Amino acid sequence: MRALLRGLRNLEAVHGEPDDPHLPAGGVDAVLIANTFHELSDQELILGRAKEAPHHHQSPDSAQARLRQTGFEIVSRDDRFVDGSSHGRWWLIVARKP
């Protein structure tokens, strides 16, 4: 809701079910589960389905360059946000609109 109020249109909320997050295989860039993990009745099933959904890979350098090109200020960057996953290293860039 906050994204919509701020005019952001590149996010889509997906309402899942207790046994199905309704995420299309290979159809999302990332999955965020925030402060709700304890509410999942079948954590293994949900996490298995969530694992199938992300598909994009981009280098942190290219993402950071694109963020700067579009006017964002880089607040922080962690090239080893998640290290050792089966898909390689995950990175995190926090940026803000100046």
- Dihedral (CA of 44, 49, 52, 54) sign: negative
What are the backbone angles phi and psi of residue 36, rounded to the nearest 5°? -135, 0
Residues in the chain: 98
CB 71 within 8 A of CB 97: yes
Q: Is 67 found in the same domain as 47? A: no
What domain count does the chain have?
A: 2
Residue 80 and residue 45 share a domain: no
User: pTM of the prediction?
Assistant: 0.47
User: Which domain does 23 fall in, by range?
Assistant: 1-56
Q: For position 13, what pLDDT does the model report?
A: 74
pLDDT in tens, 27-85: 776 676 766 777 778 888 877 777 777 666 778 898 889 889 988 899 999 988 877 65
Higher pLDDT, 87 or 40: 40
